[in-house]
């Protein structure tokens, strides 16, 4: 009975169905064994030579059997001290050892005794999977640290129920934002230009928030526990501040050019800058908190962070405008 080994180890993917014999056996004896085994072995590239204690002492090619007389002893044609791996070695490392030593299969040895083989098909599968993972990693798609649900396997009703609560939270936030805008109806009537820029404020902060959430979810996936969240937060805040300065400056110059309202332009630009910076905090904070709670940030961070940034941007915009204009 084969022992259970850790996932992705050589022992977990090896086969115990291989040809083995003692060194004093003859070529004719081995050929008869092969003929008698109707279904053959799992792979027929090599035969392995073990001593009375089960220790691996050599390896021979099945093809060499047909090049020597039947009375030739196996110890005369075998290659001594073959390369081998431990059953606890990572399967990817074992496959690289096979390729580096130019062998089709690698024997698995535990405490000196041969217990299995990594056959050619298994080695190719390991290398194929490893290459795929490397390309996906380079593309920023990596599942190594993810423990979130598979969208293609989870039942539809369960997927719907996972999303509905977050969307309902967003609906409540929208209603709250609409109610808050009613409190500043007089300000908007007196300075109608402020109303023109509400959609722009909401869009820009929402777009920046969506970018941050997407980047944060991706970086949580690619870096996992290695991600220094405090350093990451400060870096993204600095980037958000730089983006806010650029967008606010362009907004101010546009209002000055097309409307000729220098002070109103300053008010809107300043409100936009503050909104962008605070959106950074809400987007990153929400994503990191949801991940910390063990939930899937791909579901909650998007709608939750969006509604917070939208409502917050409207609140900041109207409050700053009211303070600076009166």
Please check whether residue 105 is in contact with residue 120, taking contact to mean a CB–CB distance below 8 angstroms: yes
Residue 213 has pLDDT above 60, yes or no: yes
pLDDT number for residue 50? 93
CATH T-level fold of 10-138: CBS-domain (3.10.580)
The three-state DSSP-derived secondary structure of 216-259 is: HHHHHHHHHHHCCHHHHHHHHHHHHHHHHHHHHHHHHHHHHHHC
Residue 56 has pLDDT above 90, yes or no: yes
Contacts of 300 (CB under 8 A, 6+ apart): 166, 286, 290
CATH architecture classification, 156-325 = Orthogonal Bundle (1.10)
Residue 300 has pLDDT above 70, yes or no: no
Crossing angle of helices 198-223/297-325, nearest 10°?
140
Crossing angle of helices 297-325/262-292, nearest 10°?
150
Query: What is the rounded end-to-end Cα distance, in angstroms, of the chain?
Result: 84
Q: In what order do the strands lie in the sheet with 46-50?
A: 20-21, 46-50, 56-61, 79-80
pLDDT number for residue 79? 93
pLDDT number for residue 303? 62
| Distance separating alpha carbons of residues 41 and 35, to the nearest angstrom | 11
| Distance separating alpha carbons of residues 171 and 174, to the nearest angstrom | 5
pLDDT number for residue 129? 82
With cut-offs at 50, 70 and 90, classify the pLDDT of residue 74: very high
**What are 175's two structure tokens?**
């209603």
Contacts of 33 (CB under 8 A, 6+ apart): 19, 21
DSSP classification of residue 9: B
Helix (H) or strand (E) holding 107: strand 106-110
Please check whether residue 305 is in contact with residue 283, taking contact to mean a CB–CB distance below 8 angstroms: yes
DSSP classification of residue 3: P
With cut-offs at 50, 70 and 90, classify the pLDDT of residue 108: very high
Please check whether residue 142 is in contact with residue 221, taking contact to mean a CB–CB distance below 8 angstroms: yes
Residue 119 has pLDDT above 60, yes or no: yes
CA angle in degrees (0–180, nearest 5) for 269-270-276: 90
Please check whether residue 227 is in contact with residue 219, taking contact to mean a CB–CB distance below 8 angstroms: yes
**What are 152's two structure tokens?**
């293609």
Domain boundaries defined on the chain: 10-138, 156-325
Contacts of 41 (CB under 8 A, 6+ apart): 17, 18, 19
Number of Cβ within a 10 Å radius of residue 48: 20
| Distance separating alpha carbons of residues 37 and 17, to the nearest angstrom | 12
Burial class, 148, CB count within 10 angstroms (exposed 0-12 / middle 13-18 / buried 19+): middle
Would you say the pTM of this structure is higher than 0.85? no
Residue 245 has pLDDT above 90, yes or no: yes
């Amino acid at each position: 009975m084969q022992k259970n080994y850790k996932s992705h180890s050589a022992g977990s993917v090896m086969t115990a169905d291989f040809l083995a014999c003692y060194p004093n056996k003859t070529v004719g004896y081995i050929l008869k064994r092969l003929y008698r085994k109707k279904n053959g072995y799992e792979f027929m590239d090599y035969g392995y030579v073990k001593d009375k204690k089960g220790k691996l002492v050599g390896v021979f090619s099945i093809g060499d059997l047909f090049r020597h007389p039947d009375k030739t002893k196996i110890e005369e044609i075998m290659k001594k001290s073959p390369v081998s791996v431990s059953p606890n070695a990572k399967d990817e490392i074992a496959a690289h050892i096979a390729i580096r030593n130019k062998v089709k299969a690698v024997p698995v040895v535990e405490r000196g005794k041969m217990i299995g083989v990594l056959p050619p098909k298994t080695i190719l599968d390991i290398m194929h999977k490893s290459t795929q993972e490397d390309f996906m990693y380079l593309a920023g798609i990596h599942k190594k640290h993810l423990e979130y649900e598979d969208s293609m396997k989870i039942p539809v009703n369960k997927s719907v129920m996972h999303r509905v609560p977050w969307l309902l939270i967003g609906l409540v936030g929208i209603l709250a934002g609409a109610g808050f805008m009613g409190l500043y109806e007089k300000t908007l009537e007196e300075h109608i230009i402020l109303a023109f820029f509400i959609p722009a404020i909401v869009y820009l902060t929402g777009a920046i928030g969506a970018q941050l959430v997407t980047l944060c979810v991706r970086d949580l996936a690619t870096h996992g526990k290695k991600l220094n969240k405090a350093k990451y937060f400060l870096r993204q805040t600095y980037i958000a501040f730089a983006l806010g300065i650029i967008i606010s400056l362009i907004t101010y110059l546009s209002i000055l050019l097309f409307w000729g309202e220098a002070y109103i332009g300053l008010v809107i630009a300043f409100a936009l800058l503050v909104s962008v910076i605070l959106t950074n905090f809400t987007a990153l904070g929400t994503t990191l908190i949801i991940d910390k709670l063990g939930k899937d940030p791909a579901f909650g961070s998007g709608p939750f962070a969006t509604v917070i940034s939208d409502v917050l941007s409207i609140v900041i915009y109207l409050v700053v405008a009211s303070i600076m204009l009166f």
